Amino acid sequence: MAQKQENLSKNQKIVLDYIEKANQPLKAYSILFNVQKKGLKAPPQVYRALDKLIEMGKIHKIESRNSYIACQNSSCQLEKATAFSICESCDKVTEISNHSLSKYLSNIKDKNGMKFNRYNLEFFGLCKKCKV
Amino acid sequence: MAQKQENLSKNQKIVLDYIEKANQPLKAYSILFNVQKKGLKAPPQVYRALDKLIEMGKIHKIESRNSYIACQNSSCQLEKATAFSICESCDKVTEISNHSLSKYLSNIKDKNGMKFNRYNLEFFGLCKKCKV
DNA sequence: ATAATAGTGTTATAGTATAACATTGTCATA
DNA sequence: TATGACAATGTTATACTATAACACTATTAT
Ligand SMILES: [Zn+2]
Ligand SMILES: [Zn+2]
Ligand SMILES: [Zn+2]
Ligand SMILES: [Zn+2]
């Protein structure tokens, strides 16, 4: 059975806490380095926690950056439908919460008869601060 | 100045030829292994060619798979707007060519004042064959 | 109790990508 | 034609990202 969100394991809590405090995407090895004082000493411990947190929708992976960010969207349907804006200058990442966009994408039908059950969308550009 | 698409360099031609023949996403090190007989002996030679071919829009990177596929879409606007369907069972990848989708996404305005100049969209699911 | 499942700890290794530097090719123009 | 600017190449080493494999412990359900 899928684990309930309230029941995070020890390592999962440690990793999630650290990611949530960051408010920006973090690399796995930077997480590892920073949670070593809490007892997570080796990569598999971090990657396992990351995998479970992703399954639960508590964090998302920014694929183009190999980094991990806390879900910023309380209505996020687990990991089924994710969209982000990424600044190519300062690397700021924001989770996009746009109902009409997610509705549009969730209703897309594939021409080749494929059944979609998940998507990930990444927009790239310059944030307000970096546009100047 | 940006190189014209007709003027591929030697290594770029070798790498593109191999990717185009594959009709499926390829990993960088599998490309490297297969073009060693043509003289590309080290990773940087392959990665440089890949980078340039991506810039030119001749190939795209499937971010969630760390793999590279030839552009299947003659009207692809370089690397500005890419969309793919990915079968989670057999790994088949198809470039999506859907005018209304690309129009919709290109017109999305960011709530935080970010100026988008590129996006990448990856749909995941089961292809026709794997759905059974 | 027993078994099933999930989580942990650990070592080693696989897989992906870039830094750095020396060299060569191409082409415009001084 | 030579000089400079830029693109591409060749090469070695290294950095970064992620998983395999195995032994062990904790939790829960029957
Ligand atoms: Zn989310
Ligand atoms: Zn920025
Ligand atoms: Zn394309
Ligand atoms: Zn399939």
Task: Kindly determine whether the C-beta of residue B3 is less than 7 Å away from any atom of nucleic acid strand C.
Answer: no
B62 and B87 inside one domain: no
Task: Report if CB B58 to strand D is under 7 Å.
Answer: no
Asked if residue B95 is part of any domain, the answer here is: yes
Q: What is the pLDDT of residues A76-124, one digit of tens each?
A: 767 789 999 999 999 999 999 999 999 999 999 999 999 999 999 999 9
Please give the pLDDT value at position A34: 97
**Domain assignment of residue B118, yes or no:** yes
Strand partners, B86: B93, B124
Are A63 and A14 in a shared domain? Answer: yes
Instruction: Let me know if residue A111 belongs to a domain.
Output: yes
- A57 shares its domain with A109: no
Q: From the list A96, A118, A122, which residue is nearest B124 (CB)? A: A118
Residues B66 and B85 in one domain: no
Query: Which residues form the domain of B53?
Result: 10-70
What is the Cα–Cα distance from B116 to B106, expressed in whole angstroms?
8
Q: Which long-range contacts (CB under 8 A, 24 or more apart) does A18-23 make?
A: A19/A53, A19/A59, A19/A68, A19/A69, A19/A70, A20/A70, A22/A69, A22/A70, A23/A70
Q: Which residue is nearest to nucleotide C11 (CA to C1')?
A: A42
Nearest nt to the CA of B55 via C1' is D7
* Domain membership flag for residue A2: no
Please answer whether residues A50 and A28 qualify as being in contact, where contact means their C-beta atoms are separated by less than 8 angstroms: yes
Measure B8 CA to ligand 4 centroid, in angstroms.
33
Is the pLDDT assigned to residue A49 strictly greater than 60? yes
Assess whether A85 and A45 both reside in one domain: no
**Could you tell me if A66 and A21 lie in one domain?**
yes
Answer whether A116's CB lies under 8 Å from B124's CB: yes
Same domain (yes/no): B108, B62: no
Do A88 and A66 fall within a single domain? no
Number of independent structural domains in chain A: 2
Give tens-digit pLDDT for B75-86: 566 778 999 999
Domain boundary among A70, A91, A108: A70
Same domain, A86 and A51: no
Residues A66 and A19 in one domain: yes
- Do the chains contact at A114 and B104, CB–CB below 8 Å? no
CATH number for the domain harbouring residue A33: 1.10.10.10
End-of-domain residue from the set B70, B90, B114: B70
- Residue at B2 is within a domain: no
As a whole number of angstroms, the distance between CA A51 and CA A31 comes to: 14
Same domain, B63 and B86: no
Q: Does some domain include residue B3?
A: no
**pTM (2 decimals)?**
0.93
CA angle A61, A63, A67 (to 5 degrees): 55
**Residue B52: inside a domain:** yes
Specify if A76 maps to a domain. no
Looking at residue B4, its pLDDT comes to 36
Q: What is the mean pLDDT of chain A?
A: 92
| Average pLDDT estimate for B65-91 | 89
Q: DSSP string of chain B? A: -PPPTT---HHHHHHHHHHHHH-S-B-HHHHHHHHGGGT--SHHHHHHHHHHHHHHTSEEEEGGGTEEEE---TT--TTSEEEEEEETTT--EEE---HHHHHHHHT---TT--EEEEEEEEEEEE-HHHH-
Q: Is the pLDDT of residue A1 over 50?
A: no
Position B6 confidence tier, pLDDT thresholds 50, 70, 90: low
The per-residue pLDDT for B65 is 98
